[in-house]
Amino acid sequence: MIGSLALATLRTRKAAFAGSFLALLCAAALVAACGVLLETGLRGGVPTERYAGTPIVVAADQSLHWTKEKKGKTKVKSKPLTERARLDAAVADRLRAVPGIAAVVPEVTFPATVLERSSGDEVWGHAWDSARLTPFTLRAGRAPVAADEVVLGSTDGVRVTSSGGTRVGEQVTSTDGVSVGAQVTIQATGVPGRYRVVGLADGGPESVFFSAAEARRLAGHDGKVTALGVLPRAGADTDALAEAVTAAVAGTGAEVYTGKERGALEFRDAEQARVMLISLGGALGGTSLLVAILVVVGTFALSIQQRQREIAVLRAVAATPRQIRKMIGREALAVGAAASVPGAFVGLGLAFWLRSRFVELGALPDTLDLSLSPFPVFAAVLATVAAAWTAARVSSRRTIRIRPTEALADAAVEPSRVGVFRTIAGLVALAAYIVLLVVLRGLNTEAAASPVTFLTVVLAAVAVALLGPWLTRAATAVLAAPLRLSRGPGFLAAANTRADARRLASVVTPMTLAVAMTGTILFVQTTMDHAADEQARAGTTAGYALTGVAGVPGPAADAARKVPGVGAVTEVVHTTLRVGRDKYPAQGIGPARGTLDLDVREGSLDHLAAGTVALSATAAERRDTRIGDSVTITMGDGVKVTARLVAVYERGLGFGDVTLPYELVAGHVDRPPADTVLIKADPSAHPALAEIARAMPGLRLLDGDALHARSSNAAEVNLVAMGLIIAFTAISLVNTLAMATGDRSRELAALRLAGTTRRQILRMLRWETLLLVLVGTVTGTAIAAATLSAFATGMAGTPVPYAPPLACLGLLAAVTAAALAATALPARVLLRADPADVIRARE
């Protein structure tokens, strides 16, 4: 009985449930997409390419480990290193003594850029002796022997073609203009050198192969190798051999990698990306679910409000609250099930789109494929159906509790009171929002501040949703006052806004959420970027800078020091490291007097030398460290160093939270050349500095505004990720307005029968919408401004966030345009019908 009644209601009131269906479909898509990202972070892997020819690889541990005590249990936590850890080459001697091993092949890896290539992308250099780890095979030419000879790997970046039997010295054309016998300029870890291409190879990822001696020289790290490839004898049991190898390297700090682990070792950026996907998928999924529940509750509340007359009739004819509750719950389950399944599959496509965008922005390597399983789909369906059922039960709470004798009267006239429970819950949400604002003002790390920021906005939206009728009545009473003095459409709009606060509140909530959430997502990043830019601009006192495609080699900096009129030269290299368990952006710098002003508050950067460190005020406060204290630092490659704190500075956003001597950082990164060389010089030195840049391939001399330009894709990555929530809130806004307008057919028909023209009705609706837009945008802007101010106070030390004026105007214009369109289009459809027919159909 109840089930058939629910199905009948769904069939006869499709339009009433269309809005709920759309909201739930979008919610399912969001949850499924986030689930795929999260699962990829947890279970994703990359195919083995470089080490495909060796079943066992021995390398240094590429993770940092620590123990954590919780409830009497000890847990081991691990995080991937940000730079490649290297292994003592002497470990190879232990391996050669293991029975069943045919060969142990040392592998050195270092960045190498062929400057003649059109793309200029960085690839990896190796010794030709290790080519068999893939294996690479020569398709033209021969192996490199001399120090100035190389073999280029044939891949998508430099595709080479030749006919069989090509001899060294013959011109073999490649699509990138590189051929056997050609001279190329390659920059690895030092000065760019000229090399002759003596061979072309196929078989693996794009690579540059050098002679063994030249590769060791370019790789540096004396006595260290990237990995050791273990080639078993014919017929050897690989599993048993891996166990023997593990026993042989015990105590050396080496790890044994087999199977899929080899891919993770090879593509370390993929392993780091997996960690990013776990945090991103979890944070985005949690925020999406909170927003989705809030939107779906509002949509169901409006849907039930539109059906209040028929529910009142059921109560009047002795339907019990339990029966009404069951009916509404089954309707919600049906709509949720119908929307969640297609929504979940839409989410799978959305996940692939997200991956492609992240790859384009460099946040994900193209080698990391999405992990697909039924779990994200099932999770999306279950979460969406549960959200629909919960939203329906919450939204119908007041309707099913009224007495039968009051049901019809309550449906005909909007109640003047707001429920006590709703009011108390709204005040609690408002109080929680204020508490979180206070907490947010004290958070000075992005990892802590970002989730609190978005939770703060959601809590504010919850408070607006619960206290919406109070807010709408108070706001419209003030804003509609000028309209009440007018005649015609303006007067009608003012009367409607005062008489129907509940319906208007259901519209104001998604509008407030759209403005608050969008403004916060957009302007959190602009606030951070602006603060960092301001600090970097104020702290860079050099007039010139050298930069390079593959870094700036030391000889270029030495040449700049010898130019007359040059007062100071500072080499800068960047990395990411850990102090304790906390991860910090860091820089290594040379003598900085005259080129950098980090706004030192304690100590002096003049004392920065071997065995010392400088920290930002944020990092020093977090670590409770003072001048003269010892600081244990885990470098990007896992090497621990102890340094004495000699300076505390203020401009950590612009320059990183940890500053170390350049030589120390350069010895523990994959790319040792300086990222930038800052130069303090008189204008007369410009021609000589420009000549240094021209003489060394790949270098550029910067000055003026170009010196302060900062490139970062963090803003785009965050916008792509959180843009889904922005889109969802925008859809919910349009959806709710369309639903609210579509339910006013009887009212609009009555106005037409009373003599009101179509044009006057449309003008009335425009005035109503503009009033709602004003209430929603002012409320949303106030929430976003308060949240951003608290965020900026904690993160940037200023209560004033940075919101570009054009972006603010664009946001408000977009919300206004969407609201007007969502009201006008359904209204025009309704006004085409004969008003008498509409009245009879609704009786």
536-553 pLDDT tens trace: 989 999 989 999 888 898
Residues 31 and 79 reside in one and the same domain: no
Q: Is 51 inside a domain boundary?
A: no
DSSP string of 150-219? Answer: EEEE-SSSS-B---TTPPTTS---BTTS--TT-EEEEESSSS-EEEEEEEEEESSSSEEEE-HHHHHHHH
101-137 pLDDT tens trace: 999 999 999 999 888 764 556 788 999 999 999 999 9
Residues 692 and 717 reside in one and the same domain: no
CB neighbours of residue 316 within 10 Å: 16
697-754 pLDDT tens trace: 888 999 877 777 665 565 566 667 677 777 777 777 787 777 777 777 777 888 788 8
Residues 555 and 683 reside in one and the same domain: yes
412 by Cβ neighbours in 10 Å (0-12 / 13-18 / 19+) ranks as: exposed
Phi–psi pair at 758, nearest 5 degrees: -60, -40
Residues 258 and 274 reside in one and the same domain: no
Query: For 402, which DSSP code?
Result: S
DSSP helix/strand/coil, 543: coil
Q: Is 631 inside a domain boundary?
A: yes
* Cα dihedral 377→378→381→383 (10° resolution): -110
* Cα dihedral 586→588→593→599 (10° resolution): 10
Looking at the structure of the chain, the number of domains it has is 4
Q: Is 474 inside a domain boundary?
A: yes
User: Do residues 363 and 47 make contact, with C-beta atoms less than 8 angstroms apart?
Assistant: no
Distance CA 191, CA 221 (A): 17
Omega within 30 of 0 (cis) for the link into 135: yes
381-432 pLDDT tens trace: 998 888 888 777 776 666 666 665 555 555 454 555 566 777 888 889 899 9
Residues 409 and 501 reside in one and the same domain: no
Give the DSSP H or E segment for 562: none
Q: Is 209 inside a domain boundary?
A: yes
Last residue of a domain, one of 398, 413, 428: 413
Question: How high is the pLDDT of residue 656?
Answer: 92
Closest CA to 168 of 184, 185, 156, 151: 151
Q: Is 432 inside a domain boundary?
A: no
Residues 354 and 444 reside in one and the same domain: no
User: Do residues 34 and 281 make contact, with C-beta atoms less than 8 angstroms apart?
Assistant: yes
The band of 161, judged by pLDDT with boundaries at 50, 70 and 90, is very low
Residues 655 and 670 reside in one and the same domain: yes
Q: Is 206 inside a domain boundary?
A: yes
User: Do residues 36 and 348 make contact, with C-beta atoms less than 8 angstroms apart?
Assistant: yes
Q: Has this prediction a pTM greater than 0.85?
A: no
DSSP string of 239-252? Answer: HHHHHHHHHHTTTT
DSSP string of 283-316? Answer: HHHHHHHHHHHHHHHHHHHHHHHHTHHHHHHHHH
DSSP string of 434-485? Answer: HHHHHHHHT--SHHHHHHHHHHHHHHHHHHHHHSHHHHHHHHHHHHTHHHHT
Query: What residues form DSSP beta bridges with 187?
Result: 113
Mean pLDDT of 193-212: 91
Query: What residues form DSSP beta bridges with 138?
Result: 201
Structure tokens at 474: 């108070």
Q: Is 272 inside a domain boundary?
A: yes
DSSP helix/strand/coil, 50: coil
Last residue of a domain, one of 681, 703, 725: 703
Residues 122 and 14 reside in one and the same domain: no
Residues 673 and 621 reside in one and the same domain: yes
Question: How high is the pLDDT of residue 619?
Answer: 92
State the pairing for strand pair 582-589/658-661.
Answer: parallel
- DSSP E strand stretches across 332-430: none
780-829 pLDDT tens trace: 899 999 999 999 998 888 888 998 888 888 888 888 888 888 888 888 88
The sign of the torsion formed by the CA atoms of 451, 457, 463, 465 equals negative
User: Rounded to the nearest 5 degrees, what angle is found at the Cα of 288, between the Cα atoms of 286 and 291?
Assistant: 110
Mean pLDDT of 221-245: 90
Residues 108 and 239 reside in one and the same domain: yes
User: Do residues 332 and 300 make contact, with C-beta atoms less than 8 angstroms apart?
Assistant: yes
Query: For 540, which DSSP code?
Result: B
Last residue of a domain, one of 225, 243, 262: 262
Amino acid code (one letter) for 259: G
Residues 588 and 726 reside in one and the same domain: no
Amino acid code (one letter) for 443: L
Please measure the distance between the N-terminal and C-terminal CA atoms of the chain and give it in whole angstroms.
25
Long-range contacts, 405-409 (Cβ 8 Å, 24+): 405/316, 407/311, 407/312, 407/313, 407/315, 407/316, 408/309, 408/312, 408/313, 408/316
625-654 pLDDT tens trace: 999 999 999 999 999 999 999 999 999 999
Residues 243 and 110 reside in one and the same domain: yes
State the pairing for strand pair 544-552/674-681.
Answer: antiparallel
Closest CA to 57 of 17, 21, 109, 5: 109
Q: Is 434 inside a domain boundary?
A: no
Amino acid code (one letter) for 321: P
Phi–psi pair at 775, nearest 5 degrees: -65, -50
Closest CA to 506 of 55, 1, 72, 19: 19
Helices (H), ranges, 656-743: 662-666, 686-695, 705-708, 714-742
User: Do residues 184 and 197 make contact, with C-beta atoms less than 8 angstroms apart?
Assistant: yes
60-98 pLDDT tens trace: 999 888 887 766 677 788 888 889 999 999 999 999 989
Query: What residues form DSSP beta bridges with 79?
Result: 64
Domain, as residue range, for 651: 544-703
User: Do residues 19 and 739 make contact, with C-beta atoms less than 8 angstroms apart?
Assistant: yes
Question: How high is the pLDDT of residue 468?
Answer: 73
